[in-house]
Structure 1
Amino acid sequence: MVDDLEKGLEGVLVAESSLSSVDGDAGRLIYRGYPIEDLARGASYEEVVYLLWHGELPTAEELDSFTASLNEERAVDDDVLETVERLADAGEQPMAALRTAVSMLSAYEPETDTEPEDLEATLRKGRRITAKLPTVLAAFERYRLGEEPVDPDPDLGLAANFLYMLTGEEPDELAAETFDQALTLHADHGLNASTFTSMVIGSTMADIYSAVTGGIGALSGPLHGGANQDVMEVLMEIDESDLDHREWIEQAIEEGRRIPGYGHRVYNVKDPRAKILEERSEELAEQGESKWYDYTTTIEQYLVEEQGLAEKGIAPNVDFYSGSVYYQLGIPIDLYTPIFAMSRVSGWIAHVIEYQEDNRLIRPRARYTGPEDEEFVPLEER
């Protein structure tokens, strides 16, 4: 028996996977062997989902068929939407509302009599979840605004359709491409906390709705999801400050404040996803407001040149630029983490199915540190 304690399972290998690989020293991320840069710039989110689920990029015919199958599943039952409306009216947090809605979706799953070992059925269920999450999230936001949900547009891809359902207006080409890229960048990332949570649930041969619901719960924690929201709140604080943004960051560092979006559990260099979103942020700035891009680049420049964080292995992660990108797209700040879930669900599903193909119940142990040989005292004598 191994007695070494690895807090947080850091560095512990618990599974093999062919889905994604993260090289934290080189700043490299690949899905199924493809560099994230190539996929983000050359493939749609639907192509990436197909790649994760089927092991190869689709042909044009396969992509058309796959996209059509996703589009057919976008509609959400009225009972679920009524629950989403009640949650919005009650002031529920978006991640909690998303978690509740996914759990409720299982009640309207048409394939209820399949066996856990039927992984093709699991994949079909996963396809339904992936297609419906954007509809649920957009409806939640519409209800919060006192407006009716917008029906999905079958002629739009998943990314563009979400922005359309969110605002009621079809996004322009730059906005649609940027958001599609962002979804691709968040689709998978090794055995992060939410993916591992989904895998643990899947290892019990629980259904995919349970695994995805668990993944959403894990992602909702501030140590996993939510950093992009924190980044945007900092940028808004800078915007409202009387200080120049260079002066603001200098003062924040002097006060010992932590800058969100900086540092990563795996990456020791700049996150490759952050580099891609930085480019998109600049493009959006050229089309609209430039201050959010200016703030982020100033912060990064100061932390690199004046604080030497790069030499310490602390660099921007994907959240550092995704926050301002989403804001430039007009997305409410508290929807950033649910959007993360909307993208990452494809990775959760892929990992659960991959693990269940050669399943073994995930059951780690804990080192006991409690008392020994306590003498039991009957209740009446205590």
Structure 2
Amino acid sequence: GIRFRGYSIPECQKLLPKAKGGEEPLPEGLFWLLVTGQIPTEEQVSWLSEEWAKRAALPSHVVTMLDNFPTNLHPMSQLSAAITALNSESNFARAYAEGVNRTKYWELIYEDCMDLIAKLPCVAAKIYRNLHREGSSIGAIDSKLDWSHNFTNMLGYTDAQFTELMRLYLTIHSDHEGGNVSAHTSHLVGSALSDPYLSFAAAMNGLAGPLHGLANQEVLVWLTQLQKEVGKDVSDEKLRDYIWNTLNSGRVIPGYGHAVLRKTDPRYTCQREFALKHLPQDPMFKLVAQLYKIVPNVLLEQGKAKNPWPNVDAHSGVLLQYYGMTEMNYYTVLFGVSRALGVLAQLIWSRALGFPLERPKSMSTDGLMKFVESKS
């Protein structure tokens, strides 16, 4: 499964501080855990919420940049470009240019990471408003609200359940080892002592790739097509036939399988529990639940899948759609805001531990052919 500093997702849901009246963990608590290894107190999480609120304002050149992007520029391209432009604010880049001692690198990286995490919801909300809300204002940050609550307010959503969903979403999508494309890209670029803004912008370009960050969109497209072809109230038998037709045509079932996990993704499970509590009668959720009973058995019967179980992407898009966020090309931006917590915590530790420049060995085509021939 997935563990954050040794804690499972259910343990994090239980132990991490929550908003007053809320039931889901605050992402601030997870970031504290990832950086320090300790479960934070409510007071420590409140401090972090207030600290991020203080650091959230965007410089005017980034606001101007966001407001002048063409509407046909993908949200992830806008996010990456805006993060790169925030590099003008880098404490680390300035200090490095002035010859700061390397023992101080991590402190400056920490300050940049804190600033970047604080500003990301403002950048992401501005992109959303410009593309989907006619450029309306994101409003002001409220220092009394947590990071997720401010984010949902800036997006224009006032439903308390949606804010709870966002707290859960931003927590569970934050980190998953260091080998996935976005985390590894951030580590690679950061190893060159590029500042956190440049490192994270590179990570977002990796996340924008369809094999990494677009899976939840593909799930929704497939579910919508399924409903269109066989109807909304479909029998298990018809569903099973549709799944087999998908597989026999050479396609995969989106939302099932994982490069690393070999059981049901715990991030799927906690989203399923959220849906069972808050939207048990939603037709799309009922379809996802029905697929959960059928798809793994079909994949096992087919015999090709190493992991026939659902992953995080099998559920997240359905929840966002239920609360009215239907703009699928924006979903990866939410993923990116969340992923900042994990990869930037890793970046702080990479500089604290003095990890060297990453330089993997390479092999020529001739050398590769000789290697293959020696093994044949």
Is the contact between residue 197 and residue 214 of structure 1 (CA under 8 Å) also seen in structure 2?
yes
Partner of 1:275: 269
Partner of 1:201: 189
Partner of 1:346: 341
Structure 1: distance between partners of 2:37 and 2:298: 44
Partner of 2:94: 113
Structure 2: distance between partners of 1:71 and 1:362: 34
How much has 1:149 moved relative to structure 2?
2.3
Structure 1 residues 120 and 301: alpha-carbon distance in aligned structure 2, compared to 1, 3 A threshold? same
Q: 1:225 aligns with which of 213, 218, 222?
A: 213
Partner of 1:251: 242
Instruction: Give per-residue Cα distances to partners, 1:107-132, cap 9 Å, x unaligned.
Output: 23466522373211111111111111
Q: 2:85 aligns with which of 104, 108, 114?
A: 104
Partner of 2:364: 368
Q: 2:308 aligns with which of 310, 314, 319?
A: 314
Partner of 1:6: none
Structure 2: distance between partners of 1:366 and 1:315: 35
How much has 1:31 moved relative to structure 2?
0.9
Partner of 1:290: 282
Report matched runs for 1:110-189 at 5 Å: 112-115=93-96, 117=102, 118-144=105-131, 145-151=133-139, 152-167=141-156, 169-172=157-160, 174-189=161-176
Structure 2: distance between partners of 1:208 and 1:312: 36
Structure 2: distance between partners of 1:193 and 1:345: 13
TM-score between both structures, scaled by the size of structure 2: 0.84
Q: 2:58 aligns with which of 76, 89, 112?
A: 76
Structure 2: distance between partners of 1:67 and 1:264: 33
Q: Name the amino acid aligned to 2:61.
A: D
Structure 2: distance between partners of 1:212 and 1:125: 11
Whose helix fraction is larger, Structure 1's or Structure 2's?
A: 2
How much has 1:193 moved relative to structure 2?
1.5
Deviates more, 1:248-257 or 1:141-150: 248-257
Structure 1: distance between partners of 2:270 and 2:63: 35
Q: 1:302 aligns with which of 259, 272, 294?
A: 294
Is the contact between residue 186 and residue 343 of structure 2 (CA under 8 Å) also seen in structure 1?
yes
Is the contact between residue 39 and residue 184 of structure 1 (CA under 8 Å) also seen in structure 2?
no
Question: Can you give the 5+ residue segments of structure 2 that lack an aligned partner in the other structure?
Answer: 17-25, 369-376
Partner of 1:36: 9
TM-score between both structures, scaled by the size of structure 1: 0.83
Partner of 1:355: 350
Is the contact between residue 281 and residue 321 of structure 1 (CA under 8 Å) also seen in structure 2?
no
Percent identity for Structure 1 against Structure 2: 26
Structure 2: distance between partners of 1:86 and 1:321: 34
Structure 1 residues 119 and 110: alpha-carbon distance in aligned structure 2, compared to 1, 3 A threshold? closer
SS of the equivalent of 1:308 reads: helix
Instruction: Give per-residue Cα distances to partners, 1:307-366, cap 9 Å, x unaligned.
Output: 436985321011111111122232221121111110111111111222222312211112
Instruction: Give per-residue Cα distances to partners, 1:129-169, cap 9 Å, x unaligned.
Output: 111111111111111131322223333211122111111x4
Q: 2:222 aligns with which of 194, 209, 234?
A: 234
Structure 1 residues 312 and 113: alpha-carbon distance in aligned structure 2, compared to 1, 3 A threshold? closer
SS of the equivalent of 1:101 reads: helix
Report matched runs for 1:30-69 at 5 Å: 30-43=3-16, 44-69=26-51
Structure 1 residues 371 and 47: alpha-carbon distance in aligned structure 2, compared to 1, 3 A threshold? closer
How much has 1:264 moved relative to structure 2?
0.3
Instruction: Give per-residue Cα distances to partners, 1:166-188, cap 9 Å, x unaligned.
Output: 11x4331x222221011111111
Is the contact between residue 134 and residue 342 of structure 1 (CA under 8 Å) also seen in structure 2?
yes
Is the contact between residue 284 and residue 328 of structure 1 (CA under 8 Å) also seen in structure 2?
no
Q: Name the amino acid aligned to 1:240.
A: K
